[in-house]
Amino acid sequence: MRLSVTSDLWWKNAVVYCLDIETYADGNGDGVGDFRGAVERIDHLDRMGVTCIWLMPFFPSPDCDDGYDITDFYAVDPRLGTLGDFVEFMRVARDRGIRVIADLVVNHTSDRHPWFLDARSARDSRYRDWYIWSDEPEPDDPEGVVFPDKENSLWEFDEKTGQYYFHRFYRFQPDLNTSNPEVRDEIARILGFWMELGLSGFRVDAVPFLVEQVTDSGDGRLPDPHEFFADLRAFLNRRNGGAALLGEVNLPYDDLVKYFGDSLGNQITMCFDFIGMQNMYLSLARGDAGPLAAALRERPRPPRDAHWATFVRNHDELTLDKLSDSERQEVFAAFGPDEDMQLYGRGLRRRLPTMLGGDMGRIKMVYSLLFSLPGTPVLFYGEEIGMGENLDLEGRQAVRTPMQWTPNRNGGFSTADPAKIHNVVPSGDYGPERVNVSAQQRDSDSLLLWITRLIRHYRDCPELAWGDYAVLDCGARSVLAHRADADGETVLAVHNFSERETEAEVVLEGLDSSKVLTDLLVDGTVEISDEGRARFRLGRYGCRWFRVSTPETAPADSAGSS
Q: Active-site residue numbers?
A: 205, 248
Exposure b/e, 398-436, CB count within 10 A at least 16 = b: bbbbbbbbeeeebbbbbebeeeebbbebbeeebbbbbbb
Q: What is the largest CA-CA distance in the chain?
A: 80
Which of 104, 465, 66 shows the shortest CA–CA distance to 305?
A: 465
Among left, alpha and beta (phi > 0; psi -120 to 50; other), residue 140 is beta
For the chain, what's the residue count? Answer: 562
The rounded distance, in Å, linking the Cα atoms of 562 and 559 is 6
| Residue 282 C-alpha from the chain's centroid | 19
Q: CA-CA distances (angstroms) from residue 420 to 405, 410, 425?
A: 18, 10, 12
Name every residue whose Cβ is closer than 8 Å to that of residue 491 and which is 6 or more positions away in sequence.
372, 461, 463, 464, 467, 483, 484, 520, 545, 546, 547, 548
- Between CA 61 and CA 41 the distance in angstroms is 24
In DSSP notation, 500-524 reads: S-EEEEEE-TT--TT-EEEESSSS-
Answer for the pair 274, 294: CB distance below 8 angstroms, yes or no.
no
> 156 pairs with which residues across the strands?
165
Spell 456-470 as b/e; 16+ CB within 10 A means b. Answer: ebbbebbbbbbbebe
